[in-house]
Every structure is written in structure tokens, then in C-alpha cells.
Structure 1
Amino acid sequence: MTVAPAPPRPAPVRPATTRAGDSQRVLHRLVRRELRLLAELSAWAPAGDATRSSALTRHADLLGRVLLGHHAMERDLLWPALLRALPTDLADPGRERVADWTARCAAVDNRLRDLSTAARQWAVAGTPSARDAFALTCLDLAAAVDAQTAAEERELLPLLEAHLPAREWTAIARGARPALSPREQLTVLGLALEDADPAERARLLSGLGRGTRLVWRLAGRARYRAAVVRLRGAPPDH
């Protein structure tokens, strides 16, 4: 008796896009690292040194604007696109996960306002208690961001990578315009590149316009390194 050969197994379905998930993880990692580092640097800063407190609180302001802009992009563009792309059987679970994300991000955004208040109080008072309050607020925010991004990476990013068409992510990435100056955008690029592996670095740099890549290579990288030395007292890892 001849046994018919088994039909070939279908090839595994390649996710529609991993670039969206990769971008999310890089941004999450950047913010988590910088908030905890900011808390550490602030705890050791001379409370009455206006130059030092200004540098640290400016960095906190930049991180806050980056995170708020990121949340706005997700809320207004990314998650609506994902929900439209989900198959019918995943639509309700997807909406539930986005609702959970919304609640968690609202709590993070409230803590960002607390950080802004603590920064202003340290700038005005210049006291050890005001400095310590700022450092503790950074830690509190870092813990909230840790929890929120862990839930997002566990619950939403797998759906994003499996179902969002690559063309949708490309349109979202091109349409998102961060409210940052060109210098601030280069700073954020440098922060993102610090912990990036070679594949992530290549992807980040390839996503830039030719002019931005040239600016980064000729001047941006050196300026970023100098800025990090002023802020941390040590050069960046890359």
C-alpha cells in the first residue's frame, strides 16, 4: 500500500511589519533609562547650583515632551490604525487592550505634570528638599513608565507586528511630527542610538532624511556627545 505524501506545511506567516514594534521598544527603552538616570543624577546634584538644576530639569522637560508626543501619536494614529486592521475575532480584545493602554497612559501623563511642577519648585527654591522631591518624582514616573510599557509590549505590540500593514506604519511615521527643535531631535536620536543593537542602529539611521544623516555625521554626533558629558559627567556608551 502506497501512502500519499503529506501535503507541504504552509510557510509561517511573516508579520506585516516589525518596524513599528521595534520603534516602540526603542523609544520605551530610551525613556525608562533616562528617567532613572535623571533621578540618580539629581539625587547627587548640589541643591542650590542653578546651572546644574537647570540642566537636569531641562532634560526632564525634553523627556516629558517626547513621551507626551509619543502618547499622542499612539492615541490619535497608531492604535486606531491597528483596530481597523484587526480581524473580526480580535476586534473586541483589541479594543479592551487599547482601553487599558489609555488608562495607564493617563496615569503616566498625570505624573509628567507632577514632574514639571517638581522641576519648577526646585528651580525656584533651590533647597535639598525640593531637589529630593524632584528626584523622587523621577523615580515614581520611571516606575509608572516601566509598568505601562511592559503591558504595552506584552499586550499590544504582538498585535501590531502581526496585523498592521507596513504601508500603514510608514504613513504614520511620516505623518508624526514631534514638537521638538532640530537640535532636540538630534539629541533624541543620540539617546535612541545609545542602547541600539547594530540592526536597530541601521534602521534608525536609514529612516532619516539624507540631510539629517549628514548633519548627524558631521556635527550632531559630536554635539550630542558633548551634551551627554555635561549632563552625566561621562560620555555616552556608543
Structure 2
Amino acid sequence: MSVEPARHSGRTEPLDFTPMYATHNAFRRDLTRLHRAVTGGRADTPGVRDGWANFTRQLDVHHSVEDEVLWPALLRAVPDRPHDLALIAEMTAEHAQLDPLLTAIDNDLSQRKSALAEHVRELTDVLDAHMRHEEDAALPLMQQVLPDADWAAFRSAMAKRQGPSGAAVYIPWILDGVTAEQRRDFLAAMPGPVAVVNTLLFQPRYRRKRFWE
């Protein structure tokens, strides 16, 4: 959905949501890999356990920073718009719906419970519905009303929460399995040195982790 920036956002160029979409797509990819591992009888391999641990960490970072920084900034931008306030409340509520499913899968993996496949399907449905809701409604709203400074603050908070060691996993994790075009677009949205550092350092280290194998 293309939405022109509202004049009161203080912006002349649209916000670049490339990292947001790339992160959402990485979550979708990992849940597909988890589903394949479970149905293929590989849920107890070290690579699958490590892949799941990374997935949950990335999800926690992403949603925590949204809850702490992004949604409050969006609330400040629409204080007198009930429909938009309700949308933001839905975003935080949808985050909370994921917690029991994540806990259930943790327990299923550690105790080899038969409910694992069902919980993975449920998590996939709930998370995908949330991300589609965010992409279809919350991102267009941000494009309309969120000032550049608040979007930059969100990006900065995300980078700070990841830290250097987190970025060393996050960048190649995002790029895992993407097309050449998606890779180019994502790296173009990152600070200049990221592409080189990823090629020389992050990517080789990430491959050695062998997530989901």
C-alpha cells in the first residue's frame, strides 16, 4: 500500500520500511524451516535448537523495541484519533498473544512433546496474521504521521538493543536465502560499511552456526 507522507510529519521523503519487511520475511522463513524440521523428524537436532533460539531472540528484540519505542512514538502522533489509537492497542495485544505459544514450543522441544507440530502451525498463523496487520495498517499510518526523528530513534534503539554481537548475527540472518535484489535493497538501507563487514566477517561466522540443519 502506497501512502503519501502527511505534511505534519515534517518529512518530504517516505520512510524506508525495507528493514521492517526484511525482518518480517526472515521470521516467516524461519517458521517454514521449523515446520519442515518438525514434520521431517529433525526437531531435536542441535541446528534446529540453535535456529529456534535465534528466532526467539530476534523476535524478542524486534517486538520489545516496537513496544518500548515505536508504538509510544506513534501514540504521540495520533492523540486525538480513536481509530488509530485502537490500531496501536491491537499491535501490542497481538505481541502478547505470541508469548504463550513461544513458551509452549520451548517446552515441546525440551520435552519432545507430540503437540509441537500443532503449536508451530498455530504460532505461524498468529505471527503471520500480526505481521500482515502491521504491514497493511500500521506501516501506512506511520508513513502518514510519524516524524523522521521518531523513525530514526526506533532504528537507533533497534541497533542498540542488538549491539555489535547481535548485529553480527542479525545481518546475515536477514540475508539468509534472499534473492539478489532483496539483498541489494536491504544492504542499501544499512550504514555503508555493513555490506563489506558482512561479507568478510558476519557471513562466514553465521554459516558455521548451521541454523536449522
TM over 0.5: yes
Deviations 1:70-96 (A, max 9, x none): 1111111001111212374xx221110
Give the alignment of 1:1-150 within 5 angstroms. Answer: 13-14=4-5, 16=11, 17-19=14-16, 21-46=17-42, 53-86=45-78, 88=80, 91-122=81-112, 130=113, 132-150=114-132
* Number of corresponding residues: 203
Q: Answer yes or no: is the 8 Å Cα contact 2:26–2:174 preserved in 1.
A: yes
Pair 25,206 (structure 1): closer, same or farther in 2 beyond 3 Å: closer
Deviations 1:186-225 (A, max 9, x none): 3332232233663663443552473x54431213223334
Deviations 1:75-119 (A, max 9, x none): 11001111212374xx22111001111222111122111111112
Residue 195 in structure 1 maps to residue 182 in structure 2: no
Q: Percent same amino acid among aligned pairs?
A: 25
Pair 95,170 (structure 1): closer, same or farther in 2 beyond 3 Å: same
**TM-score normalised to the size of structure 2?**
0.80
Q: Which of 133, 149, 152 in structure 2 is aligned with 1:151?
A: 133
Deviations 1:4-52 (A, max 9, x none): xxxxxxxx95464422x332222111101211211112321357xxxx5
Q: Hey, what's the Cα distance between the residues in 1 that align with 2:209 and 2:132?
A: 29
Q: Hey, what's the Cα distance between the residues in 1 that align with 2:117 and 2:141?
A: 36
Relative contact order (alpha carbons < 8 A, sep ≥ 6): 1 or 2 greater?
Answer: 2
Aligned counterpart, 1:220: 202
Q: Hey, what's the Cα distance between the residues in 1 that align with 2:147 and 2:42?
A: 50
> What amino acid maps onto 2:111 in structure 1?
Q
Structure 2 unaligned blocks of 5 or more: none
State the superposition RMSD in angstroms: 2.8
Structure 1 unaligned blocks of 5 or more: 1-11, 123-129, 233-238
> What amino acid maps onto 2:197 in structure 1?
V
> What amino acid maps onto 1:25 in structure 2?
Y
**What SS is found at the alignment partner of 1:114?**
helix
**What SS is found at the alignment partner of 2:115?**
helix
> What amino acid maps onto 2:151 in structure 1?
W
Pair 82,46 (structure 1): closer, same or farther in 2 beyond 3 Å: closer
Aligned counterpart, 2:168: 186
Aligned counterpart, 1:6: none
Q: Answer yes or no: is the 8 Å Cα contact 2:18–2:186 preserved in 1.
A: no
